[in-house]
Chain A
Amino acid sequence: MTMKIPDPSVLVTVTVNGRGLMLPKGKNLLQALLDVGHYVPHYCYQPALSVAGNCRLCLVEIEGRPKPEISCNMVVTDGLKIRTDSELIDDCRKGMMEFLLMNHPLDCPICDRGGECMLQRYSMEYGWGTARTVDARRRFVKPQFDPLIDIERNRCIMCTRCVRFCDEVGNDHVMGVFGHGSRNYIGTFGNGPVSNPFSGNVIDLCPVGCLTSKPFRFEARPWELRQTLTTPRHANGIVTAWTRGGRLLRVTPPARRRHGLYTIDEDTTRFISNEVRFGSLYTDNEDRLLEPLARGKDGKLVKSEWEPALDRAAEALKACKPGEACFIAGERSTNEEFYLLGRLARAVCHTPYIDWRGRFVSESAAQAAGVALSASDGDFDLLDKKAYQAMLIVAAGDLYESAPDISLRLREGARLKRTRLGLIDSRVNPWLGDLAETAWLEQPEKIAATLIALAEALEKGKDPANAPQGMEKLFKFVTAEHGLLVLGLDSAGGAIAPELVPAALRILRALGVGWHFLPVTAARNAKGGFVAGAQSDRVPTGRMIDPELRVKADEIYGSAIPADPSPAAPGLLEMAAQGKFKVLVLHRCDELVHHPRRELIEKAIAATPMVIAIDVFPSWITERAAIVFPGSMFMECDGSMTDIDGTLQRMSKGCRVPGNAQEEWRIIELLGLKLGDTRRSKRAHEIFADLARAWGRPDVTLDSITLKQPGPEAPQGTHNYFGVIKRPDFKLHSSERPELAIAANSNATSGRSDLLTLWWIQHSQGPDHLGSRSSQFDALRPRPRVELSTADAARLGLKNNDWVLLEGGSEQPSQVLVNPTLAEGVVYGAANVLGLRLADGAGLPHVNLMPADAPAAEILEQEATARR
C-alpha cells in the first residue's frame, strides 16, 4: 500500500492570525508554516520523522473547533482559519513550558547543550519568568550505555525524537521509553549501545541536553566555536565542522543560523553517519607526518627539508624516460589534486600512467567501474529532489556497511514514500529490505544473468506477459515509467563488475529514457577522479582519450600528452610489480593500506627503485617509500569533492596546516615547478578555475559552489508513528526465489565440497587509514564476523557465534552470524576487519570455512573494553 501523496503544487489559502497565506494543500500544517517563515514552537515534531504529537507545544487555535489542536498532526486544507497569537495559545505555550521545566534541572552552566538548547530558547520566548514550584525535582540515576552518546535523563523532555530516529532512519529498534507516567525515561533495550551506524544523530536531534556527545563533552561552549561548512575527506555529504583555536572539536550536519548565531540544526533532514561524525576526529592523532622524510644512505627514513626532498623526487622523475613513471592517486584526493596529478603525469612527465582506481582488485573490475561511471547521468540532486516511481538497487545493499552516507540517501526516498524500492542482491540487508517492495536474492555470479534475463524480457516489451518465469513481480517493478537504477561497483572489490556493468547498461537501454543510472562505490571521490582527469583513459572532462580528442586534451593541459593506452590502477600495480617503472608516486593511497591484495602492492613497491608517497599518516607504505611528503588533514585544505551523484561539494579550510606539512595541491605544484612546469597557484581556487574551464563551466568558482543542500523534503501530510515503522505488506519474495545451486556443486573443478563464494566489503568503521585514527573509533570497530546463509550454516553444522577461519582468505578467526537473507553458497565479511588477503584478483574468491578456537579470553576482554 502506498500512501496517497497530495499534489504539493496546489496552493490554497489559509488564514493565519487574520492574514491570508498561500500554503501547499495536503502538506503538514506545521511544516508548511515553518517553510513560509511563520515560526511555531515545537519539540517532538521533526521533519524527517513521523509525527508523535506529544510535546503539545505546537497547539494552534482553529476556527470552528472547541479545543486547540496540535498543528503537527494537521494538514493544510482550503479555507482553514487558525490563530497562533491568541491569548489562549499564549497560555497553552506558557503552561507547556512550565510543565517541561518543572522537573528539568537548572544545570545550564554545566550542560553541553547550553547556548544551543531549544528549552532555553523557548523558555525565553514563550515561558514564564519565574518558577511556581517548590517541590523536589524528579531525579534519575545516570546510566552509561553507549561509548559515544552520553545520557542525562533528568534533562529529558520525552519528545521521543531519538526513539523515532532509531526506529525509522536506523531501522534499529534499540531505544525506547521505559517506565510510565511521570517516571518514564529514555533508554536502550538491555542497556546496550545504540548500535546503528547513524546513532550519533540522536545527539543533534535531542532538543535539550539529555543526549550529548561524549567526545565533545565539556570541551567547549558552542559560542566559542567557529563553524566551517565543508565536506569530509573520507565520506560523501556535507557537514559543519566546529573548531576552536585550530582544533577540530566536533562534526555535525550543516548548522543553521538562528538569531545571528550558528547552532546545531535539530530539525535537519540531512543525517550523517558515525563514520563522518566520529571518524573525522582523526585530526588529533599524534602519529601524523609533519616533516618530509627521505631515505638516507643507510637506508633509513629520516626527516628532511622540503627543498632537498623535492629536488630528489624531481631528479628521479626527470631521469625517467616517457612511460617510466607511474602515478596512483588515492580515491580521497580532491578534484584539484586529481587534476594536478593528471597534468603532472601526462603533460610534465609525459607518462600515460595515472589512475585512481586502486580500490578494485583487478584490472577488468576497475575498467568496468570506469565504464559505469561514464554512463551515469551525473545529475545533481539525483537522490534528493527527484521523485522516482521506482528505485532498483543492484548489488549495493552492502553500502550500509561500506558507505553508510550514500546508503542513507538511497533509502530516504523509499522511507519517506517518494519511491518504491526493489533489490537484487546476494545479501538483502534488512535495513533496505524492510522497505523494499520486491527483493531478489541471488548468488553473486548470477546477478548479471538475472539482469540480462530481465533485459531480454524488457526488450520484447513491457507487457506483463513477457515476464521471465518466476520473476513476475520483479518484472512488474521495473516496468515503471521512470526510475533509478543503482548499481554497486565495489562489492568483493569489483570482482563481478566486469559482467555486471554491461548487463546493467543493457537493462538500462531496455528500461527506456525515463530511467536514470547511478553507479555507486564507497570510493570517496570516484566521480572526481573520473571528471578531473585522474582516470587512465579520461581527460578532465570525463571524455575518453582518443585521437579525435587529442587536440582538446592538449588544450586543457597546454601541452602534448601521450596517446598510449594506460591500464587502470590494478594493472599499473601489476606492471610495477614486474619492475616496469622507475618511479612510483602514491598520492594519499588510503585504500591501498588495508587492501586485500597487499602482496601485489608490496611487490610493486619493492620492484620500483623510487617510491614517492604523499600522505598524512605513516603506514607500511610510507615506511617503504624513498621520499614521503606530509600532506594536510580534513579542515586544513581547500578544494572540491564530487559526490557519487555528481554533486560538487566544497571542502573548506578552517585550520592552518601544522608543522612543516603542506596542502597536497601545493606539493604537487612544487614538484611540477622543479620539473619545469610553470604553473604556480596562490590558492586552490585557481586550480579549480582551470578545471571549471575544462568542464566548459567557467562561471563556476570554488566559492560559488553552493553548499546549501536542503536534504530530503519533509513528507506530505501527517505521517503517523504507527504507519511508518514497518510496511506490513513486505516479505522477502521466497516464492520468486529461484532454486539456488550451492556454489560447491557448480564449482566441481575445485574438487572441494564446501567451498563458499566470498562476498566482501571494506567496512566503514573497520580499520581505515583515516577513520580508524580517530580516538573514538575503537568504540565503533565491528567485531570480526562472517555471515552465512541459513542453509549453509545447517550444512556446515555452524551456528551463531561459532568461531571459524576463512581458509584461503584470512588468518584471523571470526564469528559466524547466520543471515537468513544471504544467498546460499556465499560467505560475507568485511575485508579490513578480517584482515583479508587475496592472492589474485581473478573473479570471486572462494574460501573454505574451518572451525577455529575462540581467541583467548584476555584478548576478547581487551576488545570489549575498547568498545566500551
Chain B
Amino acid sequence: MAATNNYEPILSAGVTGTVYSGRSESLADYRAKGGYDGLKRALEMGPDKVLDLIKEANIRGRGGAGFPAGVKWGFIPRNRERPHYVCVNADESEPGTFSNRSLLEQRPHLLIEGALIAAFATLSESVYVYIRKEYYEATRQMQRAIDDARAAGLIGKGILGSDFNCEVAIHLGAGAYICGEETALIESIEGKRGYPRNRPPFPAIQGLYMSPTVVNNIETLAIAAEVMRRGVEWFKGIGTEKSPGMTVYSISGHVNRPGNYELPLGVTMRELIYDYAGGIRDGNKFKAVFPGGSSVPMLFEDELDVVMDFDSPRKYNTFLGSTGIIVMDETVCFVWASLNLMHFYWDESCGQCTPCREGTNWMYKILKRLEAGQGVNGDVELLEDICGNITSRSICALGEFATGSLVRTIPRFRAEFQAHIDQGRCPFEKGYMRFG
C-alpha cells in the first residue's frame, strides 16, 4: 500500500459514489481546473506531434485489451481520402464493471476533450459516443455537456479558433452486451444487427461506413486528455514501467467497501481487496476473484499478490480486462456462480458464429442440470471439452469470455463440481443466493 498511499485521484477527481449523485461537472468548473487546455495545446502542436506524444506516453487501452492507444491511432491512414471516424465506447456492460458510468455522469467534459484530441490526431471530423441505453443519466449529462461545449465553440466548426472542425454525436445502444465489442459497435452505429465483424479488415482501415475508424474506451480518452494537459513525464511517473498511468478499479462482491478506486497500475490484488475495499465481509474466508470483469478466468487465494497491471496477470492465464473486480467468499458455489454467468453469456451471445451460439447454450444447459442435481458423470469433463472447442475459434472474444468462469476453476475445484453430481444436489447453503 505504501507506493500508492498518497495517490490523489485525477480522472475521478470530484467524483462521488457510484450511483448518480446529482453533481455533474459544468463546463465552467472543468475549465477552471484547466479543462480543454490539453485540446488547446494539441491544436497548437498539430496532429502529427499529438500522435507522437500519445505514442510516447504509451497509454494502454482501458477497454480490456491493453492495446496502446497511440499505436491504434497510428494505424489510421494519414490522408483524407475517406472520412475518418472516432467511436467512443461507452457501452459499459461487463458484469462487475461500473467505473465508466461515474465518469460519464460526473466528468463528461473530460471525455469530450479526450475524444476531440483523438479526432484531431486521427484527422477525423466526427465522433460518435456509443452509450449503453441503460445509462440514462449518463446520456443526459453527456448530451448537456456536448451542447454546452458546442455553445462555447469547442465542438463544431473552427474549434478554439483553429481550422479543426469536429462534430460529436451520441448513439444509444439497444441493450446488447456484444455491442461493446468494437466491430459490433460499429455495425450497431450503422444501424445493423450488432454482429462482430471478421478481421481483417480492421476498423482502422475499414470501420464505420467502410472508412478508417478508431474505437476507444472512454477512460483511455480521458487519460489522453490528461496527458495532453500534464505531459508525458507526469504520466510515466505513475504506474509501472510497461503499464504507465492510473485506472479506476471497480470492486464489487463480498467485500466490506465496494466501489470505484482510482489507483496507479501496479497495485496488487491483495492490496485492492484488503486495504482499499476493506477485506471480506463478515470475516469470511476469501475464495476467488475475477480480476477484470466476469469474462476473465479467476484468481485464487495463493495468487493474490499478482500486480494488477496489463501484463502480470497473464502468468495465471488471466487478464486485467475491464478492471471490474468481483470478489467471492467461501459461501459461493462455483457451479452456481458459473451458471449465473453462463446465463448471461447465453443470453448475450449474438448467435452469429457456431461455437459461441451453440457452446454457450450447451454449457448453460449442463450447468443448469448440475446445479439442479441432475448432473451425470462426465459432465464436468464435457464442460472442459466444450470450453476448449470454443476458445479461439469464434469470431469475437465473447465465446472465450463465456468460458472465463470455468477454465481455471474446474481443474482446481473439480471436487466441488463433482460433488454436485455425486450428491445429486448443490452442497452449498443457498439462503440469499437465488438464481432465476
Report if B22 contacts A (CB, 8 A).
no
Contact with A along B203-224 (1 / 0, CB 8 A): 0001001100000000000000
27 pairs from A and B in contact (CB 8 Å cutoff):
A56-B393, A57-B354, A67-B393, A70-B198, A95-B389, A96-B354, A96-B389, A99-B357, A102-B361, A133-B362, A134-B376, A135-B362, A135-B369, A158-B354, A177-B351, A180-B176, A180-B350, A181-B357, A181-B361, A182-B357, A183-B351, A720-B198, A720-B201, A721-B197, A722-B192, A722-B197, A722-B210
Known A-B contacts: A132-B382, A720-B201. Give 19 more (CB < 8 A).
Answer: A53-B395, A54-B352, A54-B353, A56-B393, A66-B392, A68-B393, A73-B198, A95-B393, A96-B355, A96-B389, A98-B389, A99-B355, A99-B362, A102-B358, A179-B351, A181-B346, A181-B361, A182-B349, A182-B358
Query: Chain A CB within 10 Å — which of B187, B209, B357, B392 has the most?
Result: B357
Q: Is A92 an interface residue (CB 8 A)?
A: yes
What residues of chain A lie closer than 8 Å to B394, measured between beta carbons? 56
Query: Considering the complex, which residues of chain B in the window 315-358 have a beta carbon less than 8 Å from any beta carbon of chain A?
Result: 346-355, 357-358
Q: Does B359 count as interface, using CB distance less than 8 angstroms?
A: yes
Q: Which residues of B contact A (CB under 8 A)?
A: 176, 187, 190, 192-193, 197-201, 206, 209-210, 346-355, 357-362, 365-366, 369, 376, 378, 382, 388-389, 392-395
Instruction: Please name the residue on chain B nearest to A67 by beta carbon.
Output: B392
What CA separation (Å) do A420 and B304 show in the bound complex? 62
Compute how far the CA of A103 lies from the CA of B361 in the bound complex, rounded to whole angstroms. Answer: 10
Within 8 Å CB of A95, what residues of B?
Answer: 355, 388-389, 393
Let me know if A659 is at the binding interface, CB within 8 A.
Answer: no
- Is B351 touching A184 in the complex (CB atoms < 8 A)? yes
Are B393 and A59 within 8 A (Cβ)? yes
B190 near A722: Cβ-Cβ < 8 Å: yes
Contact A99 B358 (CB under 8 A): yes
Q: Is the CB of A158 within 8 A of B190?
A: no
Query: Does A728 contact B354, Cβ atoms closer than 8 Å?
Result: no
Q: Which 6 A/B pairs are nearest by Cβ-Cβ distance?
A: A95-B389, A182-B361, A99-B358, A184-B351, A53-B198, A67-B392
Are the CB atoms of A135 and B365 closer together than 8 Å? Answer: yes
In the complex, the answer to whether B389 meets A722 with C-beta atoms within 8 Å is no
Minimal beta-carbon separation of B203 from chain A (angstroms): 11
> CB-CB < 8 A to B349: which residues of A?
180-182
Output the least CB separation between A102 and chain B (Å). 5
The answer to whether the Cβ of A157 comes within 8 Å of any Cβ in the partner chain is: yes
A contact residues around B197 at 8 Å (CB): 720-722
| B357 contact set on A, CB distance < 8 A | 99, 158, 181-182, 184
Total cross-chain contacts (CB, 8 A)? 112
A728 vs B208: C-alpha distance when bound (angstroms): 12
Interface centre among A56, A100, A720, by most B CB within 10 Å? A56
Residue numbers in A under 8 Å from B190 (CB-CB): 722
**Residue in chain B with minimal CB distance to A133:** B362
Q: How far is the CA of A708 from the CA of B378 in the complex (A)?
A: 53
Q: Is the CB of A177 within 8 A of B369?
A: no
CA distance A73 to B206 in the complex (A): 14
Residue numbers in A under 8 Å from B352 (CB-CB) = 54, 158
Task: Tell me how far the C-beta of A787 lies from the nearest C-beta in chain B, rounded to whole angstroms.
Answer: 28
Contacts of A70 in B (CB 8 A): 198
Query: Is the Cβ of B350 less than 8 Å from the Cβ of A723?
Result: no
Set of chain A residues within 8 Å of B192, measured between Cβ atoms: 722
Give Cα A803–Cα B190 distance, bound, in whole angstroms.
Answer: 38
Query: Which of A51, A138, A157, A181 has the largest number of chain B CB atoms within 10 A?
Result: A181
- Complex interface: chain B residues within 8 A of A68 (CB): 392-393
Contact B359 A99 (CB under 8 A): yes
B320 to chain A, nearest CB (A): 19
Per-position contact with B for A138-171: 1 when CB-CB < 8 Å, else 0?
1000000000000000000110000000000000
Pairwise interchain contact B393-A92, C-beta atoms closer than 8 A: yes
Interface assignment of A375: CB less than 8 Å from any CB of chain B: no
In A100-127, which residues have CB < 8 Å from any B CB? 100, 102-103
B376 to chain A: which residues have CB within 8 Å? 134
Q: Which residue of B lies closest to A99 (CB)?
A: B358
What count of chain A residues pass the 8 Å CB interface test? 43
Q: Taking the nearest CB of chain B, how far is it from the CB of A329, in angstroms? A: 52
Q: Are A56 and B351 in contact (CB under 8 A)?
A: no
Residues of A within 8 A of B362 (CB): 99, 102, 133, 135
A12 at the interface (CB under 8 A from B): no
From A721, which residue of chain B is reached at the shortest CB distance?
B197
Kindly report which residue of chain A lies nearest to residue B382, judged by CB atoms.
A132
A183 to B199, CA, bound (A): 25
Residues of B contacting A92 in the complex (Cβ-Cβ under 8 angstroms): 389, 393
- Smallest beta-carbon distance B204→chain A, Å: 15
Question: Pick the contact of B354 from A54, A73, A136 — CB < 8 Å?
Answer: A54
B40: min CB distance to chain A, Å = 35
Q: How far is the CB of A717 from chain B (nearest CB, A)?
A: 10
Q: Which residues of A contact B348 (CB under 8 A)?
A: 181
Indicate whether A174 reaches chain B with its CB closer than 8 angstroms.
no
A750–chain B nearest beta-carbon distance, Å:
48
- For residue A480, CB closer than 8 A to chain B, the reply is no
Is A673 positioned at the interface, with any CB of B under 8 Å from its CB? Answer: no
B345 to chain A, nearest CB (A): 9
What is the bound-complex CA distance between A52 and B197, given in angstroms? Answer: 8
Chain B residues with Cβ below 8 Å from A179 are 351
Interface residues of A in 33-59 (CB under 8 A from B): 51-57, 59
Closest B residue by C-beta to A727: B210
> How far does the alpha carbon of A416 sit from the alpha carbon of B139 in the complex, in Å?
42
The distance from the CB of B248 to the nearest CB of chain A, in whole angstroms, is 30
Q: Which residues of A contact B392 (CB under 8 A)?
A: 66-68
B359's nearest neighbour on chain A, judged by CB, is A99
Question: Which A residues are CB-close (under 8 A) to B351?
Answer: 158, 177, 179-184
Chain B residues lying within 8 Å of A182, measured Cβ to Cβ, are 346, 349, 351, 357-358, 360-361
**A99-B389, A138-B361 given as contacts; is B353 within 8 A of A56 (CB)?**
yes
Which residues of B lie under 8 Å from residue A54 when comparing CB positions? 352-354, 395
B380 to chain A, nearest CB (A): 13
The distance in angstroms between the C-alpha atoms of A158 and B394, with both chains bound, is 14
Q: State which residues 54-103 of A face B: CB under 8 Å.
A: 54-57, 59, 66-68, 70, 73, 91-92, 95-96, 98-100, 102-103
**Cα(A182)–Cα(B390), bound, Å:** 14
Q: Please provide the chain A residues from 265 to 324 with a CB less than 8 Å away from any CB of chain B in the complex.
A: none
Q: Which of A54, A132, A134 gathers most chain B CB within 10 Å? A: A54
Residue of B nearest to A723 (CB): B210
Q: Are B210 and A728 closer than 8 Å at their CB atoms?
A: yes
Closest CB in chain A relative to B24 CB, distance in Å: 34
Please indicate the chain A residues that have their CB under 8 angstroms from the CB of B193 in the complex: 177
Judge whether B354 and A100 touch: CB under 8 Å. Answer: yes
Determine the residue in chain A with the shortest Cβ distance to B209: A728
Cα separation A132 to B359 with both chains bound (whole Å):
13
Contact partners of A138 in chain B: CB under 8 A = 361
- Which of B187, B353, B378, B382 lies in contact with A53, CB distance below 8 A? B353
- For A185, the closest partner residue in chain B by CB is B351
CB distance from B401 to the nearest CB of A (A): 14
User: What's the least CB distance linking B399 to chain A, in Å?
Assistant: 10
Q: How far is the CA of A66 from the CA of B392 in the complex (A)?
A: 9
Q: Give the docked Cα–Cα distance between A134 and B358 (Å).
A: 14
